[in-house]
Amino acid sequence: MRTSSVRRRSFGLRRAVLIVFAVTLLGGLGAWPAAAQEIWYPVPVNVWEPPFNADRTRRPEEYRPLEAARERWRICVLIPHLKDAYWLAVNYAVLDEARRMGVSFAIYSAGGYEYLDRQREQFDECLGESPDGILLSAVSLDGLNDLVVVAADRGVPVVDLINGVSAAEISARVGVDFWDMGAATGRYLAERPGAYGRSVQVAWLPGPAGAGWVEAADAGFRAAIDESDISIVEALNGDTGRAAQRALVEEALDRHPGSIDYLAGTAVTAEAGVGALRDRGLADELGLLAFYYSPGVHRAIKRGQVLAAPSDLPALQTRIAMDTLVRIIQDEDYFPHVAARVVMVDRERLSQWDASTSLPPRGFRPVFNLAWH
């Protein structure tokens, strides 16, 4: 692993302020998950060499985390929302790793990708709590760069988790390149029978415009289908809330009645698409794909309602990010740019896949802080 020259900091004792959040349940209340009972490591990862390179030059490595933190470090975690199971999986992994490593955390949920101003306020609020480090899943690729600089100037390391942020001052990045996620989805579609030799019409709903992960997934998807006979007949951007995605699915179907072969997009797109197609009597007429995973997509693949989806293993990536941040705080070796390896899941491969790397436990409810005093 490579080293970092992050300054050491002392942490304040101020009590955390109230965190604004949206609560989403995953069906049933259930009990709190206990601390990790199974060892999740070692795991295969890709390490960018050099870090952040635009050519996606990577090498394979095996990742092993620290056994525990040396102190109860205070970690701020800023995420876009908790409206779907993807970010609930992140929340669960933060909780589980904090317990395993012996650190404290506070989670700030912006409430949606349209709330850049709110996430900026939360970032500033977080800095006011004198954290030892920050995990940042940004709602905008460029919209928090100045605040990342402020954190760096104060000696607070910021690890870019999953979504991508363009600030050069980040301490590390943990996240699958969403170009790979979009490309995996496009390749799967292009390799299906009928993708060559005739025109295949796709409605593409990649998520909120301007988000770094969306732009990357869009580029990867388009690159993967470029040599096929697949045409994107409609591309619509929007928030990943269920209502917003259902409206976009309906809009695409209304604009192209009887001419769309596939609907592809976010996990929420696919989940909303199941109901929309059923209600219109089109369940057997159109194929659904997602370019990331969720419990709803998992169930739909199992039932044959969604064809496939790649997983970027958000729970696993969050565990790696927590360990990376603790390593930086403690001036220990770390990978500046690392990610789990994408896994493509369809009905045939479902039984061979470890869902705990991507999904929270059934019934898990958000936990917004642990020992945050």
- Same domain, residue pair 69 and 124: yes
Answer with the one of 269, 288, 311 that is the final residue of a domain. 311
Would 32 be classed as within a structural domain?
no
Strand-strand pairing, 133-136 and 104-109: unpaired
- Same domain, residue pair 301 and 328: no
- Same domain, residue pair 269 and 317: no
Number of domains in the chain: 2
Would 329 be classed as within a structural domain?
yes
Q: Which of 235, 133, 135, 222 is nearest to 182 (CA)?
A: 222
- Same domain, residue pair 58 and 169: yes
- Same domain, residue pair 209 and 129: no
Answer with the one of 275, 295, 311 that is the final residue of a domain. 311
Cα angle 216, 59, 191 (rounded to 5 degrees) comes to 50
Would 297 be classed as within a structural domain?
yes
Structural tokens at position 347: 């009905």
Q: How many CB atoms lie within 10 A of CB 8?
A: 9
Instruction: Please tell me the distance from the alpha carbon of residue 79 to that of residue 330, in angstroms, as a whole number.
Output: 24
- Same domain, residue pair 280 and 208: yes
Q: At what angle do helices 85-101 and 314-329 cross, to 10 degrees?
A: 40
Q: Which residue is associated with the tokens 């917004």?
A: 368
- Same domain, residue pair 201 and 295: yes
- Same domain, residue pair 224 and 291: yes
Q: Which of 136, 127, 117 is nearest to 325 (CA)?
A: 136
The pTM (predicted TM-score) of the whole model is 0.77
Is the preceding peptide bond at 51 cis, omega within 30 degrees of 0?
A: no
**Residue 5 to residues 69, 75, 114, 144, Cα–Cα distance (Å):** 18, 19, 35, 23
Chain segment 255-285, per-residue pLDDT in tens: 999 999 999 999 999 999 999 999 999 999 9
The CATH number for 337's domain is 3.40.50.2300
- Same domain, residue pair 85 and 230: no
Would 4 be classed as within a structural domain?
no
Instruction: Please tell me the distance from the alpha carbon of residue 266 to that of residue 33, in angstroms, as a whole number.
Output: 27
Strand-strand pairing, 172-174 and 337-340: parallel
Structural domain for 171, as ranges: 43-176+313-370
- Same domain, residue pair 139 and 226: no
Answer with the one of 286, 311, 336 that is the final residue of a domain. 311
The parts of the chain modelled with pLDDT lower than 70 are 1-38, 194-198
Would 20 be classed as within a structural domain?
no
Residues with Cβ within 8 Å of 341's Cβ and at least 6 positions away in sequence, in order, are: 44, 45, 46, 176, 313
What pLDDT was estimated at residue 195? 55
- Same domain, residue pair 128 and 77: yes
- Same domain, residue pair 119 and 265: no
What pLDDT was estimated at residue 92? 96
Q: Residue 346, exposed/middle/buried by CB under 10 A (0-12, 13-18, 19+)? A: middle
What pLDDT was estimated at residue 197? 61
